[in-house]
């Protein structure tokens, strides 16, 4: 299976971001990619005050543009994330997935909001304008079942474990780590979650650009052994890499530690919040 990482930076004009994303999707299709991944907030400069301004309801203009791009290119598309407004006016950081015909087959609302204060580094509070999702999400293709997270979600190993338990062979993570946490934790997080759960982890970051929030870049694919299979630099561009999903089964047979968990002693349970 060929995966395309579409590392781009969000433009102030949403229409321009959409146009750049479409160009990259078309390039991925020309390179025979099966599935393309866009970054977190690919259509919205990454500041909390922008999220309500750029937000659209599911099925809005950006959703339609990505569905059309997937269908026109005949490619699966994990459409990064974009601000989504629900019927009650709440805003979410949402990833939609489209199949080769442009039909939506998956959706994930960022579950863990990026509220941090690093001494001498980054300060950010997504919860000022965003609401949190509350579902573990997967989608199915002819290649197998895959999972979804968004950026800060990768910090919480419980989510990746639940996603692997749901049958995911790979987990796709649109992201935008910053210049404080990126050098320290980006690669480490992807290698750790891949190793812990014996899955492929696929992270697509915003490209680095000056002004406002500055992303680390370095979109990445890590394999079930915990190795870096492919990684970009900080610049805008595309990387196409073929993964062998049979490696998941092979490694789980060689090191069966998912089967060796002491579920008689400990367990991980998914609880639904009230009203969900």
Catalytic annotation, residues: 40, 110, 151
HSE (side-chain half, CA atoms, 13 Å) at 249: 4
Residue 47 backbone dihedrals phi, psi, to 5 degrees: -130, 145
Q: How far is CA 203 from CA 59, 140, 171, 191, in A?
A: 25, 19, 8, 11
Please state, in angstroms and rounded to a whole number, the distance separating the CA atoms of residues 153 and 119. Answer: 21
Neighbours of 156 (CB within 10 A): 14
The contacts of residue 95 (CB under 8 Å, 6+ apart) are 78, 79, 80, 81, 106, 107, 108, 110, 148, 150, 172, 174
Supply 258's token pair: 């998912």
Supply 92's token pair: 């979410």
């Amino acid at each position: 299976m060929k995966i395309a990482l579409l590392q781009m930076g969000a433009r102030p004009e949403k229409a321009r971001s959409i146009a750049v994303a479409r160009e990259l999707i078309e390039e991925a299709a020309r390179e025979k990619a099966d599935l393309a991944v866009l970054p977190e907030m690919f259509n919205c400069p990454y500041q909390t005050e922008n999220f309500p301004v750029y937000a659209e309801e599911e099925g809005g203009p950006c959703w339609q543009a990505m569905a059309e791009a997937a269908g026109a290119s005949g490619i699966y598309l994990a459409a990064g994330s974009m601000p989504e407004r629900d019927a009650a006016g709440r805003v979410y950081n949402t990833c939609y997935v489209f199949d080769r015909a442009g039909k939506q087959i998956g959706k994930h609302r960022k579950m863990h909001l990026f509220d941090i204060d690093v001494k001498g580094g980054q300060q950010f509070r997504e919860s000022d304008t965003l609401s949190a999702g509350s579902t573990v999400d997967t989608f199915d293709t002819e290649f197998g079942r895959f999972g979804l997270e968004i950026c800060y979600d990768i910090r919480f190993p419980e989510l990746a474990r639940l996603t692997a338990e749901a049958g995911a062979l790979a987990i796709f993570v649109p992201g935008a780590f910053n210049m404080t946490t990126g050098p320290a934790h980006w690669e480490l997080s992807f290698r750790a979650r891949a190793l812990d759960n014996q899955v492929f982890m696929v992270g697509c970051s915003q490209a680095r650009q000056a002004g406002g929030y500055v992303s680390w870049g370095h979109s990445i694919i890590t394999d079930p052994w915990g190795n870096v299979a492919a990684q970009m630099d900080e610049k805008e561009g595309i990387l196409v890499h073929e993964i062998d999903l049979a490696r998941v089964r092979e490694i789980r047979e060689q090191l069966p530690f998912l089967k060796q968990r002491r579920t008689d002693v400990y367990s991980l349970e998914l609880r639904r919040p009230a009203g969900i």
